[in-house]
Amino acid sequence: MKFTHRFAYYLVGLVIGCFFVGLVFSGKDTRCNYFPNARVLNDLRNKPFHYSDEASKVLAEKWIDTSDIKNTLQFGDIDFDKSNTEYKKGKLYVIEGKTLKNQKVLLKVINYPGKAVLESIEKKQAD
């Protein structure tokens, strides 16, 4: 068999394979969250998110807003030494992040089976 024929068969198989891979993964919200930090943050973002009274008071102070909270839930780092403990019939997670003005913050979020509640917001002192 000539090289051009083999190459043509290869291309036909490649196109068919790419078509099936595209068909399988299209329309799905596929994520590859292999690390614990990414899995927990993804779980917290996908649940209905509520604010406690204490967190609402801090948000009213205007040094932090909900976009900073969402940004921290997207790119923050979870302190697992202080997290994953039973707290008020849920699990407490301590998340370190930054506001858009580069102010370091510490969020305490309670992860319940059906919702996530932002328990408190604290300014973190510069190291």
What pLDDT does residue 12 have? 93
For residue 3, being part of any structural domain is answered with no
- Region 80-107 average pLDDT: 84
For residue 17, being part of any structural domain is answered with no
Q: Which domain holds residue 43?
A: 35-123
pLDDT for residue 127 is more than 60 = no
Q: Which two tokens stand for residue 73?
A: 């839930």
User: For residue range 18-58, what is the model confidence (pLDDT) as tens digits?
Assistant: 988 887 777 666 667 778 888 888 888 888 988 888 888 88
Residues 6+ apart with CB under 8 A from 41: 73, 74, 76, 78, 95
For residue 2, being part of any structural domain is answered with no
- How many domains is the chain partitioned into structurally? 1
d(CA 13, CA 75): 40
The DSSP code for 125 is: P
